[in-house]
Structure 1
Amino acid sequence: MTDQYFLKVAALGPHPKLEITQLEFQNIAEARKVLTGALSIEEKYDLTLSNYIDLEKELLSLTAELMIKFNFDYDNLYNIRALLNRKIANFILSGKIYTEQIISTAAFCASDCSEAKTELKKFRSKKYDTNLDYKIMEALRNYIAHYGMVLHTLSLPSHWTKDSNGNAKELEFNIDLFSEKKLLIADSEFKKEIIHELPEKFDLKKGARSYIGCISEIQATVRKITETRINSARLTIEDYLIQYSLINNGDSFAVGAYSPNEKKPIILSLEWDNVRINLAKTNISIPNMFRRYATNSLSTKTQ
């Protein structure tokens, strides 16, 4: 029949067909869309998290270089500021894209789209209203778009740490990054409602850590809201792959769902969805990121 719906290996050859109903085909198509959206959720978070890690890595690398070379001339400091400006801008822009797009993507993958949108908007608004760093970092995205780079000044503090007897132990080096209020408010597009909350110097390092922590909390909420429907979508695909394997000597590789109304089949492979699962396992929630920092200090045990 020309209007037949069926599953078959999407390749040339005498592969067996498993007939399905139109409703089953639609369920498969819907499951595929949900899993595609689920992957997009994890990719958005992974992009933001990766840009944040790039910023932290650059700071550690530059700190180590300054610790050894002591190169504090104007050209070197300018190059450092330009490099860090790019890293900060990449992170802020990806963070803003995440917070703007995640609700619509997540709502599609939730059991109740309208309820999910309401809950996520409420949660995102709470983060914005209760966390000044989050609020300023979001505003800095518009500053980058309309005016320029947000890293205005940097400092390179160093000091000796002391042991329990008050003796010098290690010479600690650092890089501090700041946006200056007087320059931010020179942008006529900068959000007027937060100007009174701006410190004279906004600590970008602390702001970045606090911002990624808030985004991490949003992601955890998104995962919780979408978990049921995403798991159901995967089980739908798995079930039809098992059914097809029973008529194809246990093989369900590259199986497609065919419809008389579509030129190309819907591929039922789950390899790409395994990428989503691995991203979710790797990119764990880090809500207290503003309390964390990396150090290369000598271990107490070796001293």
Structure 2
Amino acid sequence: MCYLKYRLTINAAGRSPVLEIDEEKFNSIVTALNQLSAAMAIEEKYELLIGNYLDLEKEVLNVTAEDILYSSSEYSGFFDIRLACNKRIVNLLTSTKLYIDQIQQHTKICVPDSSSKVKAFFSKEYDENFEYRFMEALRNYVQHRGLAVHATKHGSRWLPPEENRLMECGTKIFSHKSELENDKAFKKAVVNEMNGNVELISTTRKYVESINYVHIQIRGLIEESVKNSRELIEGVISSYEDSNNGHSLGLCATAYESGEPIDTIIKRVQVFLDWDNVRIKLESKNRKLTNLSRRYVTGNCL
């Protein structure tokens, strides 16, 4: 019968110290790396989502700026604007679908009994916010039936009104109730909540704000587990560096069977934290969004 052995060493040509470890230590390293990887996946998918939201906001600002310069009443111009906005909305809705569908399995790796809590986070936002319910229904509609943006509208006004010193210009995009209520696949309960056409930018801001709120709660849920996992890997790296003049580049934990002329590698995992440093930066970058639905960008002088 063959028995597995476990070690820490540099996976590179040349002589490097070999530290023998037991099975429990090896398994704890693998578990910690899996948990950090899951936490990274959570942050990556949120970064993708928030990046697509930002692209939508930028697209609308770009459309407004172009309308100031190249205002046109031709249908092709309106078509191009609607198509550009639809592309951004589709990208955003696709990334939210990716985030929501996969977040539970990633969280479960970090905290095994977390599924019911994650579901409750999303359910609360769905129950309390029309904008969340609408965007979820719209996502299903976009995936199976039609496009989200049915109309665009450019507007302008003089500011201050009594002085006419600056003209403020803007663009709004809409989903038409008439388009959605005539489609049997669109959720009827959501259609019944619509007070006419839905302006998509303000609705999207509220939707993203809700998802951000869930994301912050998920971070809190896995925080202790992720912290412990990182500390474990830091300890492993530090202990090896103590025996290798402060060097750990290429460090691996290996499960193997002793043999001649060479050992048989059963499993090998790289032990380093550069990639987890990126996760920490993403956490710092993507903080809680406070009152996103009440904010907008303006080119007006403040």
The answer, yes or no, to whether TM exceeds 0.5 is: yes
TM-superposed CA distance for 1:150, in Å, is 0.8
With the length of structure 2 as denominator, give the TM-score of the two structures. Answer: 0.93
The answer on 1:11 being equivalent to 2:46 is: no
The answer on 1:129 being equivalent to 2:132 is: no
1:280 is aligned, of 269, 280, 283, to 283
Which residue of structure 1 aligns with residue 271 of structure 2? 268
Which residue of structure 1 aligns with residue 262 of structure 2? none
Counterpart amino acid of 1:160? Answer: W
TM-superposed CA distance for 1:102, in Å, is 1.4
- Secondary structure of the 1:260 match is strand
The answer on 1:290 being equivalent to 2:293 is: yes
How big is each residue's C-alpha offset from its partner over 1:119-139, in whole Å with a ceiling of 9 and x where there is no partner?
Answer: 221121110011000100011
Which residue of structure 2 aligns with residue 145 of structure 1? 143
Counterpart amino acid of 1:29? Answer: V
Q: How does 1:197-208 map to 2 (within 5 A)?
A: 197-208=193-204
Which residue of structure 2 aligns with residue 102 of structure 1? 103
CA distance in 2, matches of 1:275, 1:154: 39
TM-superposed CA distance for 1:200, in Å, is 1.8
CA distance in 2, matches of 1:184, 1:263: 56
Which residue of structure 2 aligns with residue 234 of structure 1? 230
Counterpart amino acid of 1:271? Answer: D
Which residue of structure 2 aligns with residue 224 of structure 1? 220
CA distance in 1, matches of 2:39, 2:73: 47
Q: How does 1:1-303 map to 2 (within 5 A)?
A: 3-110=4-111, 113-114=112-113, 116-162=114-160, 166-260=162-256, 262-299=265-302
Contact 1:52 1:91 in 2 (8 A): yes
Aligned length: 294
With the length of structure 1 as denominator, give the TM-score of the two structures. Answer: 0.93
CA distance in 2, matches of 1:72, 1:54: 25
TM-superposed CA distance for 1:6, in Å, is 0.4
Contact 1:178 1:203 in 2 (8 A): yes
CA distance in 2, matches of 1:217, 1:298: 31
Structure 1: runs of 5+ lacking an equivalent: none
CA distance in 1, matches of 2:298, 2:107: 36
The alpha-carbon distance between structure 1 residues 102 and 3, as it changes in their structure 2 partners (threshold 3 A), is: closer
Counterpart amino acid of 2:217? Answer: T
CA distance in 2, matches of 1:202, 1:9: 59
CA distance in 2, matches of 1:248, 1:147: 61
CA RMSD of aligned residues (A): 1.5
Contact 2:131 2:207 in 1 (8 A): yes
The alpha-carbon distance between structure 1 residues 2 and 120, as it changes in their structure 2 partners (threshold 3 A), is: closer
